Amino acid sequence: MLVDPLTPEEWVNPTAEQRWRLRRVAFFNRLAGVLAFFGVARLGLWLLLRRRNESPGPLSRYIETLRRIRSEVRKFPPEVVPFIRAHWSRPGFYWAMSANVRDLAACAAMVAHCPIPAHLPVTVLSGAQQPPERLAEQAALANASQQGRHIICAKSAHYIHLDEPGLITAAVQEMIQRTLGQIAVGK
H/E stretch holding 127 reads strand 122-127
Q: What is the DSSP letter of 146?
A: T
- Beta-strand runs (E) in 96-176: 122-127, 148-153
Per-residue pLDDT of the chain (187 residues; tens, 9 = 90+): 999 998 888 888 899 999 999 999 999 999 999 999 998 888 887 777 776 665 555 554 566 777 777 788 888 888 988 898 889 899 999 999 999 999 999 999 999 888 889 988 999 999 998 889 989 999 999 999 999 999 999 999 888 998 999 999 999 999 999 888 777 776 5
User: What tens digit of pLDDT does each residue of 158-183 get?
Assistant: 889 989 999 999 999 999 998 887 77
Provide the 10 A C-beta neighbour count for residue 171.
19
* CA 101 to each of CA 76, 80, 107, 171: distance values in angstroms, whole numbers, following the listed order: 25, 26, 10, 29
Please name every residue paired with 2 in a beta bridge, in sequence order, or none if there are none: 124
What is the domain partition of the chain in residue ranges? Answer: 16-106, 116-184
Rounded Cα gap, residues 23 and 101, in angstroms: 8
